Amino acid sequence: MKLEAGMAAVVTGGASGLGKASAAAFAAAGLKVAIFDINDEAGEAHAKAIGGTFHHVDIMDEASVEAGFAAARAAHGQERVTLHCAMASRRGKTLGWDKESGQYKRLSTEDYAFGAEGILVASYRVASISALGMANADPVNADGERGCIILTASVAAQDGQIGQVRRAI
């Protein structure tokens, strides 16, 4: 899909890192950008710097994501681009060295499950809510395209990291 000036874009995790850089690039290309993040100070500052809007959105909370999309759509219209860069996890290795005890310790199952929720489920949440809005909107071109959703991931998804479990496919 060709990006056109004036199209609306949503960037999760837009207050830092890849999300911040992408939000700036979208704005420079003439898109109306809504930043979703939990870092209010950085998100508001970046949105102001690029002429976008900031919405406090917690990707772990369905109502927060729905409210963020509603507010972004009210400000810019239906998003035609969603770039999902946000994630939530309790970082840790499957096994890590505990300096205090002098022994190895394991990442708890609960902490691992939180990461699965913050990466897998949150990605589905953001993508499905955006897709529903796009699907119910008029096409943007003769090919019937309605938008584009991009889910980012860490290189660790393809390149196993020391101390982390990786499923070989």
Lookup result for tokens 């199952």: 109
The DSSP letter of residue 155 is G
Question: HSE on the CB side for 116, CA within 13 Å?
Answer: 7
Quote the pLDDT of residue 91: 80
Is-contact 59 126, C-beta < 8 A?
yes
Angstrom distance (rounded) from CA 161 to CA 111: 18
Quote the pLDDT of residue 169: 47
Quote the pLDDT of residue 164: 62
Domain ranges of the chain: 8-91+123-153
Separation of first and last alpha carbons in the chain: 30
Quote the pLDDT of residue 90: 86
Quote the pLDDT of residue 47: 98
Quote the pLDDT of residue 92: 83
Angstrom distance (rounded) from CA 77 to CA 5: 13
Closest among 164, 13, 6 to 86, alpha carbons compared: 13
Q: Kindly list the averaged pLDDT for each block of 10 residues, start to end, along the chain of length 169.
A: 95 97 98 98 98 98 98 98 95 88 95 94 98 97 96 71 57
Q: 8-91+123-153 maps to which CATH number?
A: 3.40.50.720
Quote the pLDDT of residue 53: 98
